[in-house]
Amino acid sequence: MNRRFSWFNATSLTLGFAFLYIPIVILVIYSFNESKLVTVWAGFSTKWYGELIKNEAFLDAAKVTIQVAILSSTFATVLGTMAAYVMVRGGRFMGRTLFTGMIYAPLVMPEVITGLSLLLLFISIGLDRGVTTIVLAHTTFSLCYVSVVVSSRLVSFDRSIEEAALDLGCTPFDAFRSVTLPIIAPAVISGWLLAFTLSLDDLVIASFTSGPSSTTLPIKIFSAVRLGVSPEINALSTIMISIVTVGVITASLISKRSITRRRDEEQKADQ
Amino acid sequence: MNIRRLFLIAVPYLWLGALFLVPFIIVLKISLSDAAISIPPYTPTLDFSGGWEALKQFFSKLDIENYVFLTEDDLYWKAYASSLKIAIISTLATLVVGFPIAYGMARASDEWRPTLMMLVILPFWTSFLIRVYAWIGILSTEGFLNQFLMWIGVINEPLSIMNTELAVYIGIVYTYLPFMVLPIYSTLEKMDASLLEAAEDLGCTRTSSFWLVTIPLSRPGMIAGCFLVFIPALGEFVIPSLLGGSQTLMIGKVLWEEFFNNRDWPVASSVAVILLLLLVIPIILFQRNEEKNKELEL
């Protein structure tokens, strides 16, 4: 559909995006506020960023969070890509329905239930809560997201290229590495990024599965926010928002470039 | 079956089995146990060393006492009912806010669409917690909304929105808006504009062609969007606990408090089991809707 962009459309887009972005913009602006009161402007200052760097508890939590996010998103990408391959190319095998169900179910599961059930598992097998348990928990729910992203890419790609590689003497593993993987790479990378942000963002599951020595940043923020708004949290939020924004824009530019490059190559091949 | 294929299937299968399926069986089992002052705080615990007799005794000790307790205590009924109410109202509100945005995006020119698309997705990548936190400063009594409304002279006294159900609605609409906009946009984008021309040639006004053509054709997207908002909203914890007051009951919050504050694991587990049963129906309906859409596309 592409017709008549009316005043109504322009207004609803403007209001819609204002609704989506004004809260974030206010949050960022007031992180540079001199005053301790978050809602009263008292002049420009970067002192809350200074306070933040001095706050050991936040720094420790940030370290744990990044460690967990990197480990869990990497595991989730490997397992999720395997699961996607099984779903799309696996053919029939025993318990296939159960397998697909287990991939899709965590996507709609309330986080409180996932968190509770994993905690009860860790306790019943006697695993101490800490970084390991958070990584296990995050890997489990983000591998499902990764496999959905990767399998949509696998479905759309031409299988005959892979078969050609096999006919030309590649082992299945070589064919996967030199043909399949480069083609699905953008989906694998965006799966990794998705898993990374999901892990970075998660409060509920991490609260259930973390131990006293392994507080993550969202848990820290949540307990601070319950006591009220503070400019330090605004500063921390601003840093996190900037990292994500730069990441998303870079990723979309890279994928845009790879699409145009592929189109150019296809055109050359046609000539 | 060759070894490589077996390995490829077995690894993710076993992982999900051990960390997704088994935990559920444990929740189900603990929901049938009794609370106890011990570590872990429930009884009976499964012990295989006692042999068959001990196992039989173990099963005979399980009962549905916790579920009976849930039906007797008003708190849980109210929490389930108010979660359903909040989830339904906020889903409809998200639809009303989201549809015009998706409609505007679908009508925008081709060079604008990727940018608009990214603008909708970007907040989704930003931390959920931060986006909810941003509203505390806006909705509180001395917050920006009240300052603004008093400055333009609409109100004389600050409104109390923070810690009410209204704040929870605003929070849910705000955080789940992308889930509503994207599926509606994707159905509207695929719509054939010549259908509208045909309707108008046959005597429809612009408004009636919108209601008779655009709305029915975008229904699959609207339904998908509604489920994508409703399902997570029902079990929501962060939004009611940060924006809602102590009187805002939602089942996710009750479960959390039962577990962390009262340390009653068996009751928390049975609350979880019932929440899951409540979710099974919308999830099955959602799956059906998706399958129907796929068939229509073929």
Q: Which residue ranges form the domains of chain B, and what is each CATH number?
A: 72-297 (1.10.3720.10)
CA distance A271 to chain B (A): 28
Chain A residue numbers touching B109 (CB-CB < 8 A): 2, 5
| Rounded CA separation B298/B296 (Å) | 5
Residue A203 pLDDT more than 90?
A: yes
Asked if pLDDT for residue B284 goes beyond 90, the answer is: no
First to last CA, chain B: 33
- A152-166, A179-193, B116-130: lowest mean pLDDT where? A152-166
pLDDT of residue A254: 74
Burial of B210 by CB count in 10 Å (0-12 exposed, 13-18 middle, 19+ buried)? middle
Q: What is the mean pLDDT of residues A66-70?
A: 95
pLDDT band at residue A69 under the 50/70/90 scheme: very high
Q: Is A44-270 in CATH node 1.10.3720.10?
A: yes
Out of A78-92, A242-256, B195-209, least confident range: A242-256
CA dihedral B209, B213, B218, B223 (to 10 degrees): 100
Asked if the model's pLDDT at residue A197 lies above 70, the reply is yes
Q: Does A253 touch chain B (CB under 8 A)?
A: no
Q: Average the pLDDT over A253-259 and give the result.
A: 73
Most confident of B166-175, B185-194, B264-273, B282-291: B166-175
Helices (H) and strands (E) in chain B, counts: 16, 2
Mean pLDDT, rounded, of chain B: 86
Give the alpha-carbon dihedral of A207, A213, A216, A219, to 10 degrees: 50
Looking at residue B45, what is its pLDDT? 66
Model pLDDT for residues B218-260, shown as the tens digit of each residue: 998 999 999 999 999 999 999 999 998 888 889 999 899 888 8
CA distance B7 to chain A (A): 10
pLDDT of B49: 62
Does B138 contact A at CB distance below 8 Å? Answer: yes
**pLDDT tens digits for range A121-135:** 998 888 889 999 999
* B215 at A interface, C-beta within 8 A: no
* Domain edges within chain A: 44-270
Residue from the list A38, A112, A200 with its beta carbon closest to the beta carbon of B235: A112
Is the CB of residue A28 less than 8 Å away from at least one CB of chain B? no
Q: What is the mean pLDDT of residues B108-128?
A: 86
pLDDT of the residue at B297: 67
B129, B177, B259: residue with CB nearest A116: B259
CB–CB of A134/A68 below 8 Å? yes
> Is B32 near chain A, with CB under 8 Å?
no
Of B23, B107, B121, the CB nearest to A3: B107
Average pLDDT (B185-205) is 87
Identify the CA nearest to A137 among candidates A203, A86, A59.
A203
| Residue B96 banded pLDDT, cuts 50, 70, 90 | very high
pLDDT at A207: 93
